[in-house]
Amino acid sequence: MADNSALLARRERLLGRNMSLFYQDPVHIVRGEGVWLWDADGRRYLDCYNNVPHVGHCHPRVVEAIARQAGTLNTHTRYLHEGILDYVERLTATFDKSLDTSILTCTGSEANDIALRMAQAVTGKTGLIATNHTYHGNTAAVSQLSTRMPPVGGFGGHVRHVPAPDSYRPLGGEPGEAFATAFAAEVERAIASLEESPFGFSALIIDPFFANEGFPDLPQGFLDKAVAAVRKAGGLVIADEVQPGFGRTGEHMWGHQRAGIVPDIVTLGKPMGNGHPIGGVVAGADTLNAFRKAFRYFNTFGGNPVSCAAAMAVLDVIEDEKLIDNAREVGTYARAGLLRLQEKHGIIGDVRGSGLFFGAELVLDRNEKTPAADLATKVINDMRERGVLMGKLGIHQCSTKIRPPMPFSREHADLMLSTLDDVLTAL
């Protein structure tokens, strides 16, 4: 078996310390295909984690589209080219008709950075509201929103955090109307506080699926009151679709459609190019034009012909292989399997999610709902030892994060479930 210690030492020497790495025994991946990954020893792993290779690792149609365009032309958006126009036309057709223009970027962070500035351009204000367990990216402006690593010098006075919705331990004490009202009341309080500050209120930014917060099961219409409060105050709603977008939740193309809201700005990333770096912002023409007027913006690589070809191939495959239907069908099947495991294993406190983004919250005690964060780490590592890759996340870092490439089948779900059963039995 290959010894990873030399590779680890080289990595630390060349890339620096504190660069995150999954698993106590890191995996040295050398090849991928569909939902499978292979390490340097030729061992195969079932990938239940990676959402970036959305239509499957190294999907031949995406590979072919990239190669074809890379062999023809790759340049920037200061020349005329149909590729970006064809793609934006096709992309925006999947949104509400009020969201009809786009700026393409290379990452989700860049997309969110633009979204924040769009809100500034429209409102003339800078105050932002986000949840207290979110992550929206790594630029200087966007990382101000993340509570995982508070910024050096503390959070800017223009940021207010509201409690992330937790359907297992809901604000307001019950999972229905009171929960939604309590969340909206927090948003209203944050708006009032910003309006009293020199910054004023410009936008609420949320992932409508609250993926990083642990994908709570929210009642239909949960966000309505919060969105109404934002609109009443003259602010904008930014939906970060980097995680739930492109049909992952199995019900709609976009997480905000599933949540039943129409945002002012939508941001995209991870799955958009199946691993090729492309992100984007979708907004109404007035919002986009206000941004372009206030900030002269150019992105050297954003929207280049190769990226657009990759992204177009992703849309083709989602449609032709009916991957949204597959996400719904296999996701429902897999969650039913997790519920069966919950009957057998007391450590599973809650099962939730939608489509091919789901998981189980692990607890030490079901009555007290005491988070089992250390055990969750052990479970993830034991799964890796048995050849199934998954992660963990959530407010208490004790929910398994199962978010595989979209061609995940019932047979793959069965393998994941039986391995999890074995791991939980052996705990």
Ligand X SMILES: Cc1ncc(COP(=O)(O)O)c(C=O)c1O
Least distance CB 145 / ligand X (angstroms): 10
Candidate residues 166, 188, 213, 240; the one interacting with ligand X per rule CB under 6 A: 240
Q: Is residue 212 at the binding interface for ligand X, with CB under 6 A as the rule?
A: yes
**Closest Cα partner for 350 from 302, 400, 314, 299?**
400
Rank residues 356 and 417 by Cβ distance to ligand X and give the closer one.
356
Euclidean distance between CA atoms 360 and 346, whole angstroms: 12
Candidate residues 135, 179, 209, 210; the one interacting with ligand X per rule CB under 6 A: 135
Least distance CB 56 / ligand X (angstroms): 19
Q: Is residue 126 at the binding interface for ligand X, with CB under 6 A as the rule?
A: no
Q: Is residue 331 at the binding interface for ligand X, with CB under 6 A as the rule?
A: no
Euclidean distance between CA atoms 309 and 72, whole angstroms: 11
Q: Is residue 107 at the binding interface for ligand X, with CB under 6 A as the rule?
A: yes
Long-range contacts of the stretch 144-148 (C-beta < 8 A, 24+): 145/205
Candidate residues 51, 102, 123, 243; the one interacting with ligand X per rule CB under 6 A: 243
The interface with ligand X within residues 396-425 (CB under 6 A) comprises none
Helix (H, G, I), strand (E, B) or coil at 407: coil
Q: At what angle do helices 82-92 and 305-320 cross, to 10 degrees?
A: 40
Rank residues 269 and 349 by Cβ distance to ligand X and give the closer one.
269
Q: Of all helices (H) and strands (E), which one includes residue 371? A: strand 370-371
Least distance CB 74 / ligand X (angstroms): 20
Amino acid (1-letter code) at residue 27: V
- Pairing type for strands 279-283 and 265-268 reads antiparallel
Least distance CB 415 / ligand X (angstroms): 26
Region binding ligand X by CB under 6 A among candidate stretches 80-88, 129-137, 385-393, 397-405 = 129-137
Q: Is residue 310 at the binding interface for ligand X, with CB under 6 A as the rule?
A: no
Region binding ligand X by CB under 6 A among candidate stretches 108-116, 297-305, 359-367, 392-400 = 108-116
Rank residues 115 and 424 by Cβ distance to ligand X and give the closer one.
115
Q: Is residue 113 at the binding interface for ligand X, with CB under 6 A as the rule?
A: no
CB 339, CB 113: distance < 8 Å: no
At a CB cut-off of 8 Å and minimum separation 6, what does 115 contact?
203, 205, 238, 240, 265, 267, 281, 283
Total residues contacting ligand X by CB under 6 A comes to 16
Rank residues 138 and 332 by Cβ distance to ligand X and give the closer one.
138
What is each CA distance from 41 to 24, 56, 58, 124, in whole angstroms?
Answer: 18, 22, 20, 56
Q: Is residue 108 at the binding interface for ligand X, with CB under 6 A as the rule?
A: yes
At a CB cut-off of 8 Å and minimum separation 6, what does 84 contact?
77, 104, 303, 305, 308
Residues that bind ligand X in the complex, under the rule CB under 6 A:
107-109, 112, 135-138, 207, 212, 240, 242-243, 269-270, 279
